[in-house]
Amino acid sequence: MKIQPQALLRFAITAAVVIVALLLGHALWRHYMYSPWTRDGRVRAEVVRVAPDVSGLVTKVPVIDNQEVKKGDVLFEIDPLRFRIALQQTEANLDAAKASARAAGANIDAVLASASARKAEYDMRQEQATRREQLAEVVPKEERTDAKSAAETARAIWQQAQASGHQANAAREQAEAAVVQAQVAVDRAKLDLERTEVRAPVDGYVTNLDVRVGDYAATGSPRLALIDRHSYYIYGYFEETKLPHLRVGDPVDIRLMSGGTHLKGRIIGVARGITDRDNPTGKDLLADVNPTFNWVRLAQRVPVRIAIDEASVPKDVVLAAGMTASIDVQPRRVLDKDEH
């Protein structure tokens, strides 16, 4: 049987088109499945939970909800009266401590003067005793012994006075330490008074303001959230199949769901761990693994942190933590090839 040229041509044309279709289809599939982009990006921001450092009644709240504040602005004020009184008391204590330090100083002078008097007395007695000892032929023994013991007594009194001097010294040091203590108490009272004004630790936006005049604010319990205005970033949840195609430092095109605004960004980190959802701990501390495993395997998604280029954010765009964004990574394959 002879193959007809036309039949061959028909087969060749069809086969060529089918092969091209398979190749292109495969390429598109790979591209669509593995190119690093995701529709699930979230705008996030760092939030400071502002809590007062001292407890007390709230007397003033000069900010309103969602207000923009600068670093150092007063957010709310706690009744300073009690802390002013405490400061006055510590100041009075400081004055008292200073006075007793001065008294201790004066006491030392007195004791030192008394010690020199005792020393002079001893010197005199000692000299007397020595003189009488030298005139042993004319001075009776009793008188000599008396003079000697008088000198001994004077010496003991002098030593006692010296010990009193040491004691007075120690008392003065104690009084000086008490002054330092009182000074520290004053500084602390001043700090407490200063901290009655709760100030913004960063530039940002007041959010969820939950404090009213008359509230009792307790130390350490957060009363409002302050969103750091310079801390906006994006978490892109990329499927694990796409991770090999992105690197830290890759430029990123961000498209916000609100208004379709395009922003520029850069990958600054890939999370190194997510929870294994197949392994919650069940009863008796045993693993609670799913009973079935299907043919279809779902790719896990790993958060990739993206820094937003602040200069690329249009002035009229409102960024809010929690907003949705699409993220398209532009891998630097060309650059990589140059490096290797």
Answer for which of 44, 229, 255, 305 binds another protein (CB under 8 A) is 255
**299 near another protein (CB under 8 A):** no
CA angle 255, 257, 259 (to 5 degrees): 90
Answer for which of 5, 220, 260, 322 binds another protein (CB under 8 A) is 260
Distance CA 206, CA 229 (A): 10
**31 near another protein (CB under 8 A):** yes
Answer for which of 36, 37, 75, 319 binds another protein (CB under 8 A) is 37
Handedness of CA 201, 207, 209, 210 (dihedral sign): negative
**131 near another protein (CB under 8 A):** no
Q: Tell me if 267 sits within 8 A of 306, measured CB to CB.
A: yes
**13 near another protein (CB under 8 A):** yes
CA angle 133, 136, 139 (to 5 degrees): 100
**32 near another protein (CB under 8 A):** yes
Look-up of token digits 């005199």: 124
* Closer residue to another protein in complex, CB, 11/216: 11
Answer for which of 14, 66, 89, 153 binds another protein (CB under 8 A) is 14
Answer for which of 33, 34, 35, 335 binds another protein (CB under 8 A) is 35
**241 near another protein (CB under 8 A):** no
Binding-residue total with another protein (CB under 8 A): 26
**163 near another protein (CB under 8 A):** no
Residue 218's closest CA among 33, 34, 44, 52? 52
Q: Tell me if 225 sits within 8 A of 67, measured CB to CB.
A: no
Least distance (Å) from another protein to the CB of residue 10?
5
SS3 207: strand
* Closer residue to another protein in complex, CB, 255/264: 255
Question: In the numeric block, which tokens belong to residue 73?
Answer: 């602005």
**33 near another protein (CB under 8 A):** no
Cα distances from 154 to residues 122, 158, 161, 165, in angstroms, run 5, 6, 10, 17
Say how many C-beta atoms besides its own lie within 10 A of residue 322's C-beta: 8
Question: In the numeric block, which tokens belong to residue 181?
Answer: 């203590």
Q: Which of 67-75, 126-134, 135-143, 253-261 is the region at the interface with another protein (rule: CB under 8 A)?
A: 253-261
The contact set with another protein (CB under 8 A) reads 6, 9-11, 13-15, 17-18, 20-22, 24-25, 27-28, 31-32, 35, 37, 39, 255, 257, 260, 326, 328
